[in-house]
């Protein structure tokens, strides 16, 4: 994931006012860019993840939801 590349975007007052808010923004931006890099639609990927998460148990491996695992399996 491309964390460092998006850090400057998170330092703007409109994006985040705290270090933890900036880190949350970086995580979301990074996930979206990684999704795009894997040829997936960020909207459709996030919709899939948010629909799937509630059906997961506590012991399920969340790494199975990472974008590169779904390349070619979700609509672009």
Distance separating alpha carbons of residues 68 and 53, to the nearest angstrom: 17
In terms of Cβ atoms closer than 10 Å to its own Cβ (0-12, 13-18, 19+), residue 35 is buried
User: pTM of the full predicted structure?
Assistant: 0.66
Confidence tier at 1 by pLDDT (50, 70, 90): very low
pLDDT tens for each residue of 44-59: 999 999 999 888 877 7
């Amino acid at each position: 994931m491309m964390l460092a590349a998006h850090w400057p975007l998170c330092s703007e007052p409109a994006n985040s006012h705290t270090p933890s808010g900036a880190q949350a923004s970086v995580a979301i931006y990074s996930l979206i860019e990684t999704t795009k890099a894997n040829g997936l639609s960020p909207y459709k990927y996030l919709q899939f993840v948010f629909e799937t998460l509630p059906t997961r148990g506590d012991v399920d491996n969340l790494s199975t939801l990472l974008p590169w695992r779904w390349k070619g399996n979700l609509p672009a």
